[in-house]
Amino acid sequence: MFRHFSLAVAFLAGALRSGGGESKIYVNCVFGKSRSTTFVTAYLMVEHGWRAADALKHLKERRDVQLNPGFLQQIADLDYELEWRRHGGVGSTPAPASQKVADCEAGSRGGGGGEKDAVGRCRPVAMI
């Protein structure tokens, strides 16, 4: 899921921009509660600078949404990384060890190269 955040955020932002000031989009998944919520939460965090708790509270006030523990952890990881970047990247590593990334400039070191996502992170192209 985490590896798709940048593409999903860019898609949602583009869809909203394409319709003018009053654009609305419909985001859905199989049950409409977990995956869609995860991507909309990531969008609010990346594009609007919201913290994870604020984005989730906002969504829960409007819809019956839920996040499974794995998706919630990925939102928490994104929140950690975005907050780290907001504070100039001072201190510890920006992302948990479970989300090691390839070096974009070095290319193949991560096995297939890397690319920058919506928040400027290097991500392996073939990350699972």
pLDDT of residue 115: 52
In a 13 Å sphere around the CA of 107, the CA atoms on its Cβ side amount to: 1
pLDDT tens string, the chain, 128 residues long: the values are 788 899 999 999 999 988 776 788 888 888 767 899 999 999 999 999 999 999 999 999 998 888 889 999 999 999 999 999 888 876 555 544 334 333 343 443 333 445 555 555 454 443 32
Q: What confidence tens digit (pLDDT) does each residue in 5-36 have?
A: 999 999 999 999 887 767 888 888 887 678 99
Does domain 2-97 fall under CATH 3.30.420.40? My reply is no
pLDDT of residue 53: 94
With both helix axes pointing from N to C terminus, report the angle between 35-48 and 69-86 in degrees, rounded to the nearest 10. Answer: 10
Distance, in Å, from the CA atom of 34 to the CA atom of 32, rounded to the nearest integer, reads: 6
Domain borders along the chain are: 2-97
The whole-model pTM stands at 0.67
pLDDT of residue 94: 53
**Which secondary structure element, helix H or strand E, spans residue 60, and what is its range?**
helix 52-62
Active-site residues, by number, are 29
Give first-to-last CA distance, the chain, whole Å.
Answer: 9
